[in-house]
Amino acid sequence: MGATGQLAAGGGLHFSLPQQLTVILLCALTAFISHMALAVFNDGVRPFLLDFVQERTTRSATTAVSFGLSAGFIFGLGAPMALSSGVLNPWLLFLPTDVLGLLAPRKWLAPLLGAGWGAVVVFGLNGANEVAHDLPVDFLTAMQQMSTPILFLFTLFPVLAIAKQFGRAWGAAAGAVELALVVMTMKLWPEMFAGALAMAVGVLLLIGLAVRRDLTQRRADREAAGDAADGSAPPAPGAASREAADDPMASLFSASATRLRRYLPLFMVLGAGVCLLAQMHIFGGGEATSFLIAKGHYAEAAQVDFYRVFGFVPLIATTALASGAYGIAGFTLVYPIGYLMPNPVLAVIAGAAVFAAEVLALSSIGKVLGKLPSVRDSSEYLRNAITDSLHLAILFGSLMAANAMGAGLGILVVGGLYLLNEAMGRPVVRMAAAPAAVLVGGILLNLLHWLDLFTPVKG
């Protein structure tokens, strides 16, 4: 797939009436669900909701935590990514509704605030996009330079995860295989995203290595247990069940799963809405996915977001069982399913069915993860690898955007703002700092142009 494909931002952020209504109603629903502490999008906020549900902390304190953990991603990543790609994303839609839902003191106010934010997005974003494109220094077009490093460096996240979990030898082997597959894909299937096949093989290799390690360890444990059992008395009848009953975590997990199942119809509506939004192809679930959707590569976008699921299932399942609050996008499986659905009706049905299955299976998933520690650990390595690869890709892409809009001066301003953020202890989270620096740098370069101190780069 060529990296120079026209992005949706080039034509503006125009939404049809059904698309506008879907975004507004979905934002209203997610704010309502957040108000009830049933689900939030921010994984970092979810563990704090247990104290809120059990009334050990206040709504205002929980709102402050949510805003503090979300603001940088909303304004530093969500808004810049939407403006540069022309595709909506979960940081722009669902992090604000997390905050607004928790902020609302009354149940009826939460959906109104959420709908208001949805209206701001669908009606205000295009205006901001048009104003930015009319400026002498068009920093939004320059930000499209971010697409190439994000798409290609993201391909390496399975390699990083394998190297960290299973050592340098396996990491080097995975890297060589992925490089060969990328070259082969570019040569034989130029219309296909070059990293698609490489990511598939890398993720399968990681899962295979983790399962092999777990099976080997379980076999060794059984042999050790068999040796220890020789000559010893058998356990008392019912001992295992009494231990499980006395386990406070097992009791908490059971109560949380029961609480979520009680609201199963509401979660099914949520799953239907998120899947429908993905089916409309105005929404991407991740950084790389947003640019793939913008280029019209829906199958590749589905593949990318499907691989991300493996990194987030254990995190979302365990935090949901511990806190009694689910994820707004569930295990995010509704993203790839939505991209591939041929019509909205099927998307609604599929989204509702997927969320129902996820909520009902939470307890079973928690038990399975407890028996496969290496697979559970792989998800953490995957998440960290995704963060590392995207951090480098976004930083490099932001510097490319800075060069496109201001050459050396642009690099100085954007790179300087990023380094200043690092020196000040990262008041803006690292992942969002570079895109935020591009926006601030673009505004500054326009001011310098109006003061006749800077001539925009042509072309």
Q: Domain coordinates of the chain in residue numbers?
A: 15-159+264-450
Cβ–Cβ < 8 Å for 137, 458: no
Q: Nearest CA to 40 among 299, 330, 272?
A: 330
Q: Using CA atoms, how far apart are residues 373 and 314, in angstroms rounded to an integer? A: 10
Give pLDDT, residue 459. 53
Q: Residue 40: phi, psi to the nearest 5?
A: -140, 160
How many Å from the N-terminal Cα to the C-terminal Cα in the chain?
A: 23
Over residues 247-270, the mean pLDDT reads 80
Range with top average pLDDT, 9-23, 25-39, 128-142: 25-39
Tokens of 87: 């595709």
pLDDT of 421 > 50? The answer is yes
pLDDT at 250: 56
pLDDT at 337: 96
Q: Is the per-residue pLDDT at 286 higher than 50?
A: yes
pLDDT score recorded for residue 11? 47
Looking at 8-143, list the stretches that DSSP marks H as alpha helix, in order from N- to C-terminal side.
17-35, 49-53, 59-73, 79-85, 90-103, 109-119, 125-133, 139-143
pLDDT above 50 for 241: no
Close Cβ partners of 104 (under 8 Å, ≥ 6 residues apart): 31, 35, 110, 113
d(CA 305, CA 300): 9
Cα 1 to the chain's mean position, in Å? 23
Three-state SS letters, 197-241 = HHHHHHHHHHHHHHHHHHHHHHHHHHHHHHHHHCCCCCCCCCHHH
- Asked if residue 53 lies in contact with residue 34, where contact means CB atoms within 8 angstroms, the answer is no
d(CA 260, CA 317): 12
Average pLDDT over every residue of 190-198: 82
Tell which wins on pLDDT, 456 or 179.
179
pLDDT value at 9 more than 70: no
Dist CA 41 CA 96 (whole Å)? 9
Token pair 């006749």 is at which residue? Answer: 452
CB burial string 15-28: b at 16+ within 10 A, e below: beeebbebbbbbbb
Rounded to an integer, the average pLDDT of 271-294 is: 92
pTM of the model: 0.83
- What number is the average pLDDT over the span 373-394? 86
pLDDT reported for residue 352:
96
How far from 112 is each of 24, 59, 100, 189, CA to CA, in Å? 10, 18, 10, 48
Residue 458 has pLDDT above 70, yes or no: no
Is 4's pLDDT higher than 80?
no
Is pLDDT above 80 for 36? yes
Res. 12: pLDDT tops 70: no
Average pLDDT over residues 428-456: 89
Distance of CA 269 to the CA centre of its chain: 21
**Cα–Cα dist 353/441, whole Å:** 45
Angle at 74 between CA 107 and CA 259, to 5 degrees: 40
Q: Can you tell me the distance from the alpha carbon of 376 to that of 210, in angstroms, rounded to the nearest whole number? A: 9
Question: What pLDDT, on the 0 to 100 scale, is given for residue 316?
Answer: 86
* pLDDT band at 97; cut points 50, 70, 90: very high
Rounded Cα gap, residues 363 and 35, in angstroms: 24
Q: Is residue 214 over pLDDT 50?
A: yes
pLDDT for residue 424 is more than 80: yes
At 406, is the pLDDT very low, low, confident or very high (cuts 50, 70, 90)? confident
- Distances from the Cα of 255 to the Cαs of 43, 262, 282, in angstroms? 20, 11, 37
Whether the per-residue pLDDT at 287 is higher than 90: the answer is no
Question: Is pLDDT above 80 for 44?
Answer: yes
Res. 249: pLDDT tops 70? no
pLDDT value, residue 43: 84
